[in-house]
Amino acid sequence: MKNHPPGCTCGQHDDKKGLDRRDFLKIGSLLSAGIGFAPSVTGLLPLGDLEHSEGFGKSNTVKAGKAQHITLLHTADIHAQLHTHDEFFWEDGQANYKRRGGMAVLKTMINKLRSKNPANTLVIDGGDCFQGGGLASLTEGEALVPLINNIGYDLMLPGNWEVAYGKSMMLHDLGGYNANKVCANMWHDSTDEYNEDPIFPPYWIKVMGGIKVGFIGYNDPLTYKRQPPAFSKGIKFTPPEINVKKYIRLLREQENCALVFLVTHMGLAQQVGLANMPEVEGVDYILGADTHERIRQPLQGKYTKVTEPGAFGSFLSKLDIVVENGVIKDTSYELLDVDPDRYKADKDMMALLEKLEAPHKKELSKVIGSTKTTLVRYFVIETPMDNLITDALMWKFKPDIALSNGFRFCPPLVPDPKTRVAEITKDFLWSMLPVDNEVKYGKISGKQLRNWLEKELENAFASDPTKRFGGWVVRFQGMIINFTIEKPFGERINSIKVAGKEYQEDQWYTITACEREGDAYDTLCRITNVLEVKGTGLTMHQAMEEYLAKFSPVAPKVEGRATATDAPPTLLTQLHGYDYSFR
């Protein structure tokens, strides 16, 4: 039997206190109309009823103790968004923006929901919490720890971005959480002193209302490829199907758990794929995360259901289950807005935020530019936010093609209706680009370019969900591409134009892209064997600040740099074949 690392309580118990693409095709192309990016800030949209499941507690069987009412509150992909912010909604074929989120608002909301079923409510986070904002980046996630503890989470799962500051800092930050940690597929690698032992407990059991509830955790097994390789140094990842059946059987048969959940951070396509695998038979729900999807009705797979609670602290999912004699008798699921008009910000959390931000406030509040159009990053194929970034790289370094990764984090920034501009601060720049690496320069052939684009499209749209990276289509300036999503790997690209001309396989093109820590020196933006690679001496942030200083107010928009024959520019989800649309 292996010795577990300090603090690892594998199998620990806690017996203490109790758009589908086809739907979007109907919308049609809105490029000429600007895709409705103009600000449209509206009021309360009733997307969930706080009291909808309150009747469970008044049930005679529950009151008599013959049945148990369990409540699970679930957040994920907060990405260090600490304050109320503009949030994107897709309504009646256009983008609308409302004020949502904020840690102090979230705390008030959770406290109110928890008070409805205080003995049997658990609060869970699905990962990607301490990366994605200025304060998190400047403190390597450490400033988020007291905020999470102040809310009082019960269970935490590491996400793919929890590795952003390296293994040691990940362990330090997660170790600071009072909540239980769980993950069954992250291991110390063979070079570590723990010799391939699990980094976290694979599962956690909570006794509530006299019944056992089990949770098994899984991070994205492709994290080591999706993130810069240096981030995951010392960590080995394995697919869930390697051991999930074993843990389900252990929780069901040995521990006699009445309910079993998977808490995952793998992306909606991978999670739905997992729900269709026989290995997960016996799981009641997959509580998913990573792709920021807003699941308003659980998606039914062959063996279990899947949920996902949106992102940026703007939403919280609420799952209520009534169990009688070990059998689920009733359920209620809601995705609720974290609405500052409905929930007053918690004063203690506001004071804590102010204290943590004070040393960095001057730096993060510095205005570095402005925009006349909404900066948004919710569209899968092309976004105004990433067009701004690649425009800056193109202007500063003058390559043939400027590249940026297909990031999905960062909430929108909406111009003020009165001034018609929005100020861009250093804090918002950290939200757009939480990794500030050096920009590098190199040369590739047209053949390399096409092969790389085919691979990137496979990462986004692979028919096998286990091969999807979770990110969106790579971003660029200097070329125009057209592709077909439904075509097989290697055949999606229909056309590539560079500087307005059809690309040539034997022609050489200069590119700029940010360095990914741990990649080979001749690898840029996952393109291998790049020639004549050299550093520019400037980071992404420096290039952005120079561009914004010269050209503000900027006005980026979607302009057809990437188009698909079988999806509109407003595509909002990579999942298809299910009754689901992002809104």
Q: What is the pLDDT of residues 365-391, one digit of tens each?
A: 999 999 999 999 999 999 999 999 999
Question: What pLDDT, on the 0 to 100 scale, is given for residue 6?
Answer: 34
Task: Evaluate whether residue 557 is within a structural domain.
Answer: yes
For the residues of 254-290, what is the DSSP string, one character each?
A: IS--SEEEEEEES-HHHHHHHHTSGGGTT-SEEE--S
How far apart are the C-alpha atoms of 402 and 385, rounded to whole Å?
14
pLDDT of 70 > 50? The answer is yes
> Which pLDDT score is estimated for 408?
83
Mean pLDDT (whole number) for 86-90: 97
Is 211 in the same domain as 302?
yes
How high is the pLDDT of residue 192? 65
Query: Which DSSP string corresponds to 443-477?
Result: EEEHHHHHHHHHHHHHHHH-SSGGG--S----EEE
Domain boundary among 300, 322, 354: 354
Percent residues over pLDDT 90 in the chain: 78
The pLDDT tens digits of the residues spanning 136-164 come to 999 999 999 999 999 999 999 999 999 99
Higher-confidence residue of 472 and 251: namely 251
Q: Which residues contact 256 (CB under 8 A, 6 or more apart)?
A: 212
CATH number of residue 129's parent domain: 3.60.21.10
Domain membership flag for residue 57 = no
Residue 330, classed as helix, strand or coil, is strand
**Domain presence at residue 380:** yes
My answer on whether 338 and 407 are in the same domain is no
Does 237 share its domain with 371? no
Q: Is the pLDDT of residue 84 over 60?
A: yes
Q: Going by C-beta distance under 8 Å and a sequence separation of 6 or more, which residues neighbour residue 96? A: 40, 41, 42, 88, 89, 90
Q: Hey, what are 409's tokens?
A: 């984090």
Q: Look at residue 30 and tell me if it is in a domain.
A: no
Which of 354, 382, 413 finishes a domain? Answer: 354
Residue 382 shares a structural domain with residue 270: no
Of the ranges 195-199, 220-224, 470-474, which is most confident? 220-224
Q: Is the domain of 291 the same as that of 386?
A: no
pLDDT (0 to 100) of residue 194: 66
pLDDT at position 5, please?
37
Provide the residue range defining the domain that includes 248.
Answer: 65-354
pLDDT higher than 50, residue 28: no
Judge contact between 204 and 16, C-beta under 8 A. Answer: no
Query: Do 93 and 210 fall within a single domain?
Result: yes
One domain, residues 349 and 374: no
Tokens representing residue 287 in the block? 């509580």
Residue 571 lies in a domain: no
pLDDT surpasses 80 at 48: no
First to last CA, the chain: 49
Q: Do 345 and 393 share a domain, yes or no?
A: no
The reply to whether omega before 309 is within 30° of 0 (cis) is no
Check residue 64 and give its pLDDT.
Answer: 57
Q: Specify the number of domains making up the chain.
A: 2
CB 101 within 8 A of CB 84: yes
The predicted structure's pLDDT at residue 115 = 97
Asked whether 388 and 376 are in contact (CB, 8 A), the reply is: no
For 489, the 3-state DSSP assignment is coil
Is beta strand 121-125 parallel, antiparallel or unpaired with respect to 155-156? parallel
* The most confident of 405-409, 516-520, 567-571, by mean pLDDT: 567-571
- Write down the H helix ranges in 117-161: 134-138, 144-151
Determine contact, residues 286/271, Cβ cutoff 8 Å.
yes
329 and 382 assigned to the same domain? no
Q: Report, as an integer, the average pLDDT of 545-572.
A: 97
Q: Is residue 464 scored above 90 in pLDDT?
A: no
| 104 contacts 349 by C-beta, under 8 angstroms | yes
Summarize the confidence of residues 181-209 as an average pLDDT.
90
pLDDT attached to residue 27: 31
Dig out the tokens for 26 from the structure: 């109907």
Place 57 in a pLDDT band, splitting at 50, 70 and 90.
low
- Answer yes or no: do 275 and 370 share one domain: no
Flag whether 310 is in a domain: yes
Assess if residue 172 is contained within a domain.
Answer: yes
For 293-306, what is each residue's pLDDT tens digit?
Answer: 999 999 999 999 99
Does pLDDT of 108 surpass 80?
Answer: yes
Query: Which of 302, 332, 354 is the C-terminal boundary of a domain?
Result: 354
Higher pLDDT, 409 or 107: 107
The closest alpha carbon to 553, from 416, 435, 348, 461, belongs to: 416
What CATH number is given to the structural domain containing 468?
3.90.780.10
Q: What distances in angstroms separate CA 210 from CA 30, 213, 254, 332, one per listed residue? A: 55, 10, 16, 21
Mean pLDDT, residues 548-560 taken together: 97
Strand intervals (E) in 103-249: 121-125, 155-156, 180-181, 186-188, 203-208, 211-219, 235-237
Rg value, the chain, Cα: 23
Share of the chain above pLDDT 70, in %: 88
Does the pLDDT value for residue 117 go beyond 80? Answer: yes
Residue 50 has pLDDT above 80, yes or no: no
CB neighbour list of residue 367: distance below 8 Å, 6 or more residues apart: 423, 424, 425
Question: Has residue 520 been placed in a domain?
Answer: yes
Tokens representing 454 are 């085919």
Do 285 and 378 lie in a common domain? Answer: no
**490 vs 3, more confident:** 490
**Contact (CB, 8 A) for 131 and 137:** yes
Predicted confidence at residue 520, as pLDDT, reads 87
Per-residue model confidence (pLDDT) at position 24: 34
Q: What is the pLDDT of residue 517?
A: 82
Residue 46 pLDDT level (bands cut at 50, 70, 90): very low
Q: What is the pLDDT of residue 29?
A: 32
Q: Is the pLDDT of residue 312 over 90?
A: yes
CA 419 to chain centre: 32
Nearest to 270 by CA among 311, 309, 221: 221
Same domain, 181 and 301: yes
Residue 514: pLDDT above 50?
yes
Contacts of 564 (CB under 8 A, 6+ apart): 381, 482, 483, 484, 485, 571
Interval 66-73 mean pLDDT = 93
What average pLDDT does the segment 56-78 reach?
81
Residue 43 pLDDT greater than 70, yes or no: no
User: Which pLDDT does position 352 carry in this prediction?
Assistant: 98
pLDDT (tens digit per residue) in 394-431: 999 999 999 998 788 899 999 999 999 999 999 999 99
- Write the pLDDT tens digit of every residue in 275-291: 999 999 999 999 999 99
Question: Buried (b) or exposed (e) across 18-30, using 16+ Cβ within 10 A?
Answer: bbebebbeebeeb
Q: What is the mean pLDDT of the chain?
A: 89
Provide the angle, in degrees to the nearest 10, between the axes of the packed helices 540-551 and 384-397.
90
Q: d(Cα 194, Cα 3) in Å, to the nearest integer?
A: 8
Reading the block at residue 308, the tokens are 């996902």
